[in-house]
A and B are shown apart, each in its own frame.
Chain A
Amino acid sequence: MPGNEVAVTGLGLVTPGGVGVGPSWTAVLEGRPTAAVDPALEDGPVRISCRVPGFDPDALLGARRAYRLDRFTQFALVAAREAIADAGLDPETWDGARVGVVLGCADGGPETVERQHHVLRDRGAAKVSPLLLPMQLPNMLAGQAAMEFRASGPNLVVATACASGATAIGTARDLLALDRCDIVLAGGSEAMITPLVMAGFAQMGALSRREDDPAGASRPFDADRDGFVAAEGAGVLVLERTADARARGARVRGRIVGYGATADAHHMTSPHPEGAGLEQALRAALADAGAGPADVGHVNAHGTATPLNDLVEARVLSRMLTARPLVTSTKGVTGHLLGAAGAVEAALTVLTLEQGRVPPTANLTRLDPRIDIDVAAAPTDTRADLALSNSCGFGGQNAALAIAAA
């Protein structure tokens, strides 16, 4: 759908690299892993995670506001505020009816659910907090953002598991193309590093067990990878139709020029063995952008560091992108932000093209010999002007974004 591209005019990040785009990008570009032993998971089967350092919700949002928000909503509001400021927009003066919010998450607020489940079990139903549902419902992400930023346009939360953040950006692009609104706060947020959720991931065999070397645990495409490291955080992008953005003199940091959304229709958790759904999504995103595989200069891979994902994804990329663009997985640094991953990585892809620097895939010491793609092991200069950002979710959902330089 050439001509329906949208401009990215603002970026906001809360990641294990830090609170803000600056510290997040620096950590990623330096290839500095953030995985560490997590005291909150002390009694669990896997005790490694990537936490956001120095996140003080009372200081960032005000105690009155923060205590009624689950952590996943706190992250999103902080990231959105940064993105809006970066876009040079002011919620006090914008036409809120024309501002939409499309955010994604995999799980809502399990921390709140688990805490209140303990109350139910130990003290009875009459002691359960009235804030249980208003805090944990997934759609509160967008609802709270609407209240915080006077955004009364289309407002929704999408759930495609670990593709949610990318699905949100693609859906936001479509809303802008259909003229449903003029500005969208699009992205994803996740805070699901809880004992119960981690027990579930561990039972699936999805997590890295490299507890003797936490910093080396998230190692996408490496021969010795053994699973992902769960991470938390949020990424929010301000999107506007490119013509509108240029007309108001906004700084265009990048453009979302294509979106492909597909389903594997194959298995609850395993990717299609040939990556058919992912390839279909990548081809759809490129067709949407009016581009072909040869135009792709860089790929920010899903690259979770699970044995199966990385193998299947690499097969799709080597089969489809014969010009061998440089691939990276920023999850080596950040871990897997789950429903926020697609949004955080879209933002990092915008930065990659803008700065002309491909961040390294941390912990890649020996490429899996079955993988035949070029993976960045060190920060590398690039002149690419078109990139793909891939996301795949449990359930078989795939979302691909074609992202172009400004």
Chain B
Amino acid sequence: MSVRFEQIKEILVNNLKVTPEQVTPEATWEDIELDSLAMVELSLMIEQEFGLEIGDDELLRAPTIGAMVGLMEERSTTA
């Protein structure tokens, strides 16, 4: 698992109270039961924790947690 994956897992588990076992690279937003409000929260937390600007709409378009980690990695190299 990448460092980014572990970072996002930490936010999902500690802040959004997702069960740790549910957080896998293959899991979708539906799998971990996050709604659109939680996506806005997640977007704010990613910016606050890592200084990465990823909109909630972008997060929602990422099909899995793994895809979102990819988005974060892409954004951090271009930042």
Contact = CB atoms under 8 A, between A and B. Distances in A.
A131 to B, nearest CB: 6
A54 interface: no
A26 interface: no
Contacts, number: 19
B5 to A, nearest CB: 21
A294 interface: no
Contacts of B41: 129-131
B9 to A, nearest CB: 15
Contacts of B16: 67
Contacts of A267: none
Contacts of A131: 37, 41
A130 B39 CA distance: 9
A97 B17 CA distance: 31
Contacts of B48: 127
B17 A64 contact: yes
B40 A63 contact: no
Nearest to B43: A130
Interface residues of B, number: 10
Nearest to B15: A67
Interface string B16-42: 111100000000000001000100110
Nearest to A126: B44
A140 to B, nearest CB: 13
B37 A64 contact: no
B44 A127 contact: yes
B37 A130 contact: yes
Interface residues of A, number: 9
A236 to B, nearest CB: 25
A67 B17 contact: yes
Nearest to B44: A127
Contacts of B37: 130-131, 134
Nearest to A64: B17
Contacts of B44: 127, 129
Contacts of B19: 64
Contacts of B18: 64
Contacts of A127: 44, 48
Interface string A122-164: 0000010111001000000000000000000000000000000
A134 B38 CA distance: 12
Interface string A52-77: 00000000000110110000000000
Contacts of A67: 16-17
A129 B48 CA distance: 13
A130 B38 CA distance: 8
A308 B17 CA distance: 47
A134 B41 CA distance: 13
A127 B47 CA distance: 10
Interface of A: 63-64, 66-67, 127, 129-131, 134
18 contacts: A63-B17, A64-B17, A64-B18, A64-B19, A64-B33, A66-B17, A67-B16, A67-B17, A127-B44, A127-B48, A129-B40, A129-B41, A129-B44, A130-B37, A130-B41, A131-B37, A131-B41, A134-B37
